[in-house]
Structure 1
């Protein structure tokens, strides 16, 4: 525990228990009584009314009526801190619940269980739900990970990666890291990762670039202008998946989306996922790719 953290917790303990002996504090923090008395001097010098009474029933306490001065933070700032801690708590980050209770007490505020975060898709098993925690711990503890990855071209590869950061982008979670197989920095969509395990190999590389920015540049270089028209029944997909400035509503209630996307297998599959909701596709090249895919699907189904 850092000195600052210990000072903070001393104040919290005194607010909670009123009187504590130097020995009790020393045992709690696993430091010497001399260190506790030095802490008292530091806190007193910072304006905290802390003092010690000798004799039977004595101990260290705060001036009667003292409360933590949170006036340096506005009410909105205090609420933002508590919201941030609540959001972190639902990711099972170590000791966040305890920190949240302490800060709420110091701010003299109640915290409600108003937020919940689940990083797994609907209907996921427990193993999938624990994946986020596994990846987070690997990053914090600086261990490499191994997993099978399915890219947008339908290819499956075995990867060993030194993980750096969890990223949230456009309704999906990604992992950035250094791929020991590709010998380069990569971003992996977490939903496409399977059989994830943590190795005993420690991370040696350090990020030398912004993986998300690099991925956006690469996507932009391979993107082409496309325009699609989707029936009115597809409104939920349109507003879920595209920014409002890319959408225009037509007189018949349908929607037209104009954007740039990288052409390839992923885009083919994505557009086909609209099914009968999809009414128009431009440019012609993309429409021809979709028609070819549909013919292949029809042929495969007729074989069986």
Structure 2
């Protein structure tokens, strides 16, 4: 009990700078004599605590002192606070008090440097609620059920053991074990509908590398090297969607993009989203597929 009280006294001194023995005694419901004994114990332990008498006086700690400077470097302290800020942005409960205490102990300002919003532009609060439900199911290992729309427009009801929320390639995904497919899968969260959390608890370990091909066989096609020529009018998209080293400027002002993608219906639709401003150079069979799709689309308007 005394150790806990000693720690909290140090924290209060970091936080309030100066506090009277009476205030400490009332807070801990002990006598002022006990508080003075605690202060003496802390001083003997090397904590630079001092007292000032008179009006405005009280018990203080040297402002330059950092409690665990010998244990954690300045960089490590910043890393810890940054990680906690990230958790706080994800609405993980009870992070604020920890941030406040560690910020005081490390003698650092608690600067808010990150904010995260799980919803996409134009969505309502239901998207955020969906993420909170998924987080609850993952942390409590609860089986979930939902309707899911595949890349082919197929709607199936899935029963899933949720393992992790991940962000990849400009999109949020749920990684989990699908009982329907009897394998792990990545589910794009914007395609999840009618999410329900059951009372059933599961027990499953997360694979070390969830991005390995063996963990994603049901979600990807063969990886191809895609080369496209894109007009200058679409420059604003290029640097949002590709790495600068994958983009080269042509003499006519257009761009050539070289990238690796899984070949599936999604990538065909992605290429076509550039409309008249993109031309597939390689592979030639992808070029033929896009031509065929444009011809079929054109028939609908003739």
Q: Does 197-206 or 11-20 show the bigger shift?
A: 11-20
- Structure 2 distance, partners of 1:240, 1:185, is 30
1:243 equivalent in structure 2: 243
Q: Deviations along 1:219-240, whole A, 9 cap, x unmatched?
A: 7871222211111122222222
The CA deviation at 1:117 is 1.3
Say whether 1:234 aligns with 2:220.
no
The CA deviation at 1:13 is 4.3
- Structure 1 distance, partners of 2:46, 2:253, is 65
The CA deviation at 1:139 is 0.8
- Structure 1 distance, partners of 2:181, 2:29, is 52
Q: Does 264-273 or 277-286 show the bigger shift?
A: 277-286
- Structure 1 distance, partners of 2:199, 2:29, is 37
The CA deviation at 1:205 is 2.5
Distance 1:209 1:154, change over 3 A: farther
Q: Deviations along 1:137-180, whole A, 9 cap, x unmatched?
A: 21111111111222222222211111111122222222211111
Q: Deviations along 1:241-297, whole A, 9 cap, x unmatched?
A: 122232222122211112232222111101001112213442222122112212222
1:133 equivalent in structure 2: 132
| Secondary structure in 1 matching 2:203 | coil
1:58 equivalent in structure 2: none
The CA deviation at 1:22 is 10
The CA deviation at 1:126 is 0.4
The CA deviation at 1:99 is 1.2
Unpaired segments ≥5 residues, structure 2: 31-37, 50-57
Distance 1:109 1:235, change over 3 A: same
Distance 1:107 1:152, change over 3 A: same
- Structure 1 distance, partners of 2:61, 2:258, is 66
- Structure 2 distance, partners of 1:74, 1:211, is 32
2:253 equivalent in structure 1: 253
Q: Does 167-176 or 120-129 show the bigger shift?
A: 167-176
- Structure 2 distance, partners of 1:150, 1:47, is 63
Write the mapping of 1:25-36 to structure 2, written as runs, cut at 5 A. Answer: none
CA contact 1:224–1:260 (8 Å) conserved in 2: yes
Write the mapping of 1:116-195 to structure 2, written as runs, cut at 5 A. Answer: 116-195=115-194
Q: How large is the RMSD of aligned CA atoms in angstroms?
A: 3.4
CA contact 2:248–2:257 (8 Å) conserved in 1: yes
| Secondary structure in 2 matching 1:212 | coil
Distance 1:293 1:9, change over 3 A: farther
The CA deviation at 1:81 is 2.2
Question: Per residue, is there more helix in 1 or in 2?
Answer: 1
Write the mapping of 1:81-96 to structure 2, written as runs, cut at 5 A. Answer: 81-96=80-95
Distance 1:187 1:22, change over 3 A: farther
Write the mapping of 1:17-96 to structure 2, written as runs, cut at 5 A. Answer: 18=19, 20=24, 24=28, 47=45, 49=47, 65=62, 67-72=65-70, 73-96=72-95
1:55 equivalent in structure 2: none
- Structure 2 distance, partners of 1:236, 1:146, is 39
| Secondary structure in 1 matching 2:123 | coil
1:267 equivalent in structure 2: 267
Alignment coverage as a number of residue pairs: 276
The CA deviation at 1:50 is 11
